[in-house]
């Protein structure tokens, strides 16, 4: 039985990781400051076969990171201050969590002699590419368009340095627009999928910022969980950055149309001004990830949205 630390484990993606780990019998420790994470999200993880423990604490505190690292084999680092818009409003807070907090975690991990650290990075570090339809490969140089993206580049650079200087095995997973149950639809910075889903279901008219033709590689959370678990033990993964996505891009009007189809609702939106710092198009190349992690996205765009709608209608969105 291996022991895992999941930072940000009470959040959307982190709670799914904790649930998958305890379900297969591993020991899981969650570190979360509950700023955006919720204890409700951890109910399923607590019910698994493996041991479960929780530390309420902040990765900006080195001593907390050191305490959380005791006896840990693998770290799945999901804790972050998300949202491009939040980073524009307060870049200092975003840097403090995503860059400095991640540095604390890496330092504590190498001190404790953990086997590997897998970190949640972001497709936002790529910025825009020309042509817009081109898949984003891991070899592209960073082109961050927001303080959030800059903070993720800084975290990645620390991962590279710790791997080279201290021999700490690090893997950087670049997430592309993850969606799934437990993703908070109420936050003012809510991701577009839950925001559109619950607006349509309530008979409201969703608001699209921009022309709606901005595209995203929407990725169901189960695919992300599988990639993280594989990244912990894949022999060729240390030192690499790997895209985690579905490998297919859809624009926001496509998203509304499909959600409207599943809900039996009119998916026509209102339009508002485009946001500064947002990437126009996002499509992942998965060639490297498939080869290194033996990764294959098992849940596609329509399947993921269908599952989400079904769970919401069953009252199981938080399960």
Q: Which of 4, 148, 175, 220 is catalytic?
A: 148
The structure tokens listed for 128 are 């825009």
The 3-class secondary structure across the chain, one letter per residue, is: CCEEEEECCCCHHHHHHHHHHHHCCCEEEEEECCCCCCHHHHHHHHCCCCCEEEEECCCCCHHHHHHHCCCCCEEEECCCCCCHHHHHHCHHHHHHHHHHHHHHHHHHHHHHCCCEEEEEEEHHHHCCCCCCCCCECCCCCCCCCCHHHHHHHHHHHHHHHHHHHHCCCEEEEEECCEECCCCCCCCCCCCHHHHHHHHHHCCCCCEEECCCCCEECCEEHHHHHHHHHHHHHCCCCCCCEEEECCCCCEEHHHHHHHHHHHHCCCCCCEEECCCCCCCCCCCECCHHHHHHHCCCCCCCHHHHHHHHHHHHHCCCCCC
Residue 215 forms beta bridges with which residues?
251
Cα dist from 210 to 77, 127, 276, whole Å: 32, 17, 10
Q: Using the CB atoms, write b or e for 272-292: b if 16+ within 10 Å.
A: eeeeebbbebbbbbbebbeeb
Q: List 27's β-bridge partners, or say none.
A: 3
Note if 74 is an active site residue.
no
Task: Indicate which residues carry an active-site annotation.
Answer: 148
């Amino acid at each position: 039985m291996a022991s895992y630390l999941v930072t940000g484990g009470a959040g959307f993606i982190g709670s799914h990781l904790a649930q998958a780990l305890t379900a297969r019998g591993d020991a899981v420790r969650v570190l979360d400051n509950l700023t955006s994470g919720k204890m409700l999200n951890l109910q399923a993880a607590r019910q698994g076969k493996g041991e479960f423990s929780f530390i309420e604490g902040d990765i900006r505190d080195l001593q907390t990171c050191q305490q959380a690292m005791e006896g840990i084999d693998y770290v799945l680092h999901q804790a972050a201050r998300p949202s491009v818009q939040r980073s524009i409003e307060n870049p200092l807070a975003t840097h403090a969590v995503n860059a400095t907090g991640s540095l604390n975690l890496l330092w504590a991990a190498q001190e404790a002699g953990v086997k590997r650290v897998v970190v949640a990075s972001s497709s936002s570090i790529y910025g825009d590419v020309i042509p817009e339809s081109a898949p984003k490969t891991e070899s592209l140089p960073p082109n961050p368009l927001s303080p959030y993206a800059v903070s993720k580049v800084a975290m990645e650079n620390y991962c590279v340095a710790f791997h080279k200087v201290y021999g700490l095995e690090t893997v950087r997973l670049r997430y592309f627009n993850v969606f799934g149950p437990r993703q908070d639809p109420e936050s003012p910075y809510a991701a577009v999928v839950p925001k559109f889903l619950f607006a349509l279901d309530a008979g409201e008219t969703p608001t699209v910022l921009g022309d709606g033709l901005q595209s995203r590689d929407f990725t169901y959370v189960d695919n992300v969980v599988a990639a993280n678990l594989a990244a912990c033990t894949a022999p060729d993964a240390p030192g690499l950055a790997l895209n985690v996505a579905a490998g297919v891009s859809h624009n926001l009007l496509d998203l509304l149309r499909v959600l409207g189809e599943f809900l039996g609702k009119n998916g026509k939106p209102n339009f508002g001004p485009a946001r500064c710092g947002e990437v126009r198009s996002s499509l992942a190349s998965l060639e490297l990830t498939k080869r290194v992690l033996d990764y294959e996205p098992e849940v596609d765009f329509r399947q993921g949205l269908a599952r989400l709608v079904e769970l919401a209608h069953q009252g199981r969105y938080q399960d």
